Every structure is written in structure tokens, then in C-alpha cells.
Amino acid sequence: MDHTKQYRDQQEAKQLQNRISSFMKDFKVGTLLHANGIRKLRGVSPLTLFTVIFSLPFEGVNFSQGIVRNPNLGFKKDAAYDFLKNPKHNWRKFMLSLAAIVVRFFDALTSEGREKVLIFDDSTYDRSRSKMVELLAWIYDHNSGRNLKGFKLLTLGWSDGNSFLPLDFILCSSANEETRVQGITKELDKRSCGYKRRVEALVKSTVHLEAMVKRAISFGLRADYILMDSWFCFPSILAALGKHLPVICMGKDMPTILYRHKGKWVRLSKLYSLLRKRPGKAKILTSVVVETREGQQVKIVFVRNRNKKRQWLGIVSTDTELSDEEIVRIYGKRWDIEVFFKMMKHYLNLERETQLRDYDGMIAHITIAMSRYIFLAFEQRCHDDPRTLGSLFFACSDEMKDLSLVEALQRILSLAMDKIRSAGIVTEDVVLALVDSIMNTAIDMLQTGQRLLQNNSVITTN
């Protein structure tokens, strides 16, 4: 049994490596690396280094086990560290380029009428045990309700409701110098990508939202809406992003965020109390079109909070023509980014794989980890969507169309009877009698239907 399991594991590992190699080749990852300044330095190609680091979680090893203490590689650990820490590497453009190619592949499988969305969210990048990490800061974790050392990972993603792809991210430190544990420790050319990303990290995260959307659009990524959580629901942000795409986000009940309704400026909770509610146990309670401080018209849909009884949630949409049901349905696609963060932290080793202190190294490693998710999203789509089979899918579809109802029913019954036989519930004679009875009844019904159809056609002709 041990030999069988070992052989099976070896075959699965080979299949995985073949799929990774195919992904790198089909999406021209080596060419993308070279085009974005990620080039050969120490005798080993960037694609080799990228692939080895990329494969670590799939092999069940971390950076130390798979690279630092691995004698079977064709390079030393210094080559890998230099690859990650180079401030001239344009990792942002690389990931946007890779994601754009995969999005075009998904677009070919998706109808034009289906909404594509851009999703914003942030999550903590925990480095609680660190002291000397560049730009390390004290940040507030909303999930645990406490302060910790680390960063805020602001992420922009794309989704068609089936597949989610990360597009861009900013590893945010703190805009407040007093809460930063470490400052910039590396002297850099101000024209380098590393310097520009450090400057981004020291600015309030909401400042970057519009620039991130504009970058995604410039790469040809098509979307119909922008989805956000309540942390970004400010009138100024809605107005800025609304210039590019309609925005749907969770409302924020704050005394400083007011909406104009019937000539009065009121906060969200007061606005809800002024509206007439739908009777009964309706999930959508009410809706209204109001004006923000930026002079922008928005529609707010109030729904029941299923997690807390007698409480409500307000969903804000800058597209006032959408129906209440459509606003709620489209906003539901925002959940994809929550699944993404869970996968990144628990399975793709976003925080645990390596303990780099260099800010450039962290940017590179996060990009590679997000590239793993892009790979998994592609594999999942190919596995679940039969249209990825191309002409084979249509050939199979034609084959299914050629089957008659009786033939299809017979196939289904044969499968069901096989299950009954294997379970040993009834005898073989009973099984055959049951099949004959069902098939005879089906044939009689079809023949009766045909006779009625013929009679109707004769009557119509006369």
C-alpha cells in the first residue's frame, strides 16, 4: 500500500508540474517578466527563479525548505533573494499584464450581457513578530479589534461572478509617522519602481483608489461596476470613482456622512427612519434616491441584516436607474474578494512563507503569491467550464442534441439500475421488470402525444 501511495503521489506531482509549465508557456510568463524589467542577473533566468518560488506551496514546502536548504537547485539562495529585492523590477505592470491576458481568456467564455466588476478591499498583512521590517507600522485589525504590527494590503480585483483575479495592490504602511515602527531604510533612485511604491505606502490608502482603477482600464480590462465595502463609502470617493464606472458599496452610518432628502441633510440611520417600509418579511425593506455633499445623485437600498435581527444594511449605488434587486444581486459579487484573501493567507502562504525585511522583497513575494491565485483561477475555470474544450465542447453538445428522449431516459435508467444492483436492494428480475415497466409507460406516453399532435395538425389543415 505504501508503494501504491508513493507512486500516486509522484504521478500527481508530475501532473501538477506539467500544468504549471503549461501555464508559464501558454501565458508567456518569461516574456512578461523580461518586458517589465525583470531580467537575468546571476546566471539563472528570471523564469526559473519565478517558477521555483511560484511552486513552493504546491510542493508543501516554505522558502527555507524549498530554496535556502535545498541542494538540488541550480542556483544558490542569494540569487533568489536578489531576484526578489531588486527595486527596478516592475512587479505591478507584470501582474496587470498577466491578469489582462487571463481576463481576455475568460471573456471569451462569458456572455456580453453578464456583468464584470472591479472589487476593492483591504486586509491585514501580519508581521507581529517582526521589528526590523522596512516601513513596518502599527495598524488596526477590524476582525480582531486590536492593533498589530504589519501592513494594510489594499487590493483591486476583477470578477465575472464565476472567476476572481487580483489585478493590483498597494502594501500600505501608516501615513502617521508616529505609528511607524521603521521608516525607509534603503537608498534608492527616485525613478525606480521601488522608490515609487514606498512613497505610495506612506499615503492614506483611499487616495490610491482612482489611480488603481485608471491603471486597470488602461490595460484593457473591461468592467461594468466597482464594488466596495463600507470602509470606502465616502462622498468624495464615490464622486471620483463614479467618473469612470458606476459604484456600488455598503453604506456607512456616520454623523459626518449626510444625504439630502426632501431638502434636509440627514445621516443614514435617520434617512432609514423617514422612509416607508415594505410590509411583511420582505428582504428588501425600502429604497430612495438622495444627493450627497458632492452634488451626486445616489440610490440607497435598505435590506435586512440576516446576521442581526431587527437591523438593516444600506447599499449605495451611483447608478440610480438600477432596480433594487439588481443592486443587491450585483453587490453580492463582492464576496469573491473575501474568498481570495482567505485562500491567499491559509493556502498560498501570503504571510508565512518567508520573513523578508526588505520592502521590495515583500512586494515581489506578494506578486508571486497572487500569481498563484491567478493560476488556480485559470485551472478551476478550465475544469468547471466545458467551453474551454473548444470544438470538443460543441461536438459533445451536438451529440447530446442527437439523442432522443427515449434514449436519454434509457441511459439514465441504466445508470440508476446499476446503482440499485450494486447496493443489492432487490433481485435482478425485479430490476429488469422495473426498467421494462418504466420504458413501456414512457413509450406509450410518447406515442399518445404523437397521435394527438397528428390529429391537431389534420384539424388545422382542414
Per-residue pLDDT of the chain (462 residues; tens, 9 = 90+): 466 666 676 777 788 889 999 999 999 999 999 999 999 877 889 999 999 999 999 988 999 999 999 988 888 899 999 999 999 999 999 999 999 999 999 988 877 788 999 999 999 999 998 999 999 999 998 877 889 999 999 999 999 988 999 999 999 999 999 999 999 999 999 999 999 999 999 999 999 999 999 999 999 999 999 999 998 999 999 999 999 999 999 999 999 999 999 999 999 999 999 999 998 788 899 999 999 999 999 999 999 887 776 689 999 999 999 999 999 999 999 999 999 999 999 999 999 888 899 999 999 999 999 999 999 999 999 887 655 544 444 444 444 444 455 555 555 556 566 656 665 655 666 666 666 666 666 666 556 655 555 555 544 444
Instruction: Give Cα 353 distance to the centre of its chain.
Output: 21
Is 119 within 8 Å of 156 (Cβ atoms)? yes
CA distances in angstroms from 429 to 406, 421, 436, listed in the order given: 22, 11, 11
Classify residue 390 as left (phi > 0), alpha (psi -120 to 50) or beta.
Answer: left
3-class DSSP assignment, residue 21: helix
pLDDT at site 385:
60
- The CA distance from 77 to 120, in Å, is 35
Distance from the Cα of residue 52 to its chain's centroid = 24
144: helix, coil or strand? coil
Residue 264 is predicted with a pLDDT of 95
Retrieve residue 221's grid coordinates.
480590462
Cα–Cα distance for residue pair 421/230, rounded to 1 Å: 56
Q: Does domain 91-388 have CATH number 3.90.350?
A: yes
Task: State the pTM of this model.
Answer: 0.81
Q: How far is Cα 175 from Cα 190, in angstroms, rounded to an integer? A: 19
Residue in this structure with the C-alpha cell 443587491, named with its chain if needed:
328
Confidence (pLDDT) at 410? 59
Q: What are phi and psi of 167, to 5 degrees?
A: -110, -45
What integer pLDDT is reported at residue 457 of this predicted model?
Answer: 53
Phi/psi for 130 (5° steps) reads -95, 155
User: Which grid cell sits at 232?
Assistant: 470606502
Short-list 338, 337, 294, CA closest to 316: 294
Give the up-direction half-sphere exposure of residue 427: CA atoms within 13 A in the CB hemisphere.
3
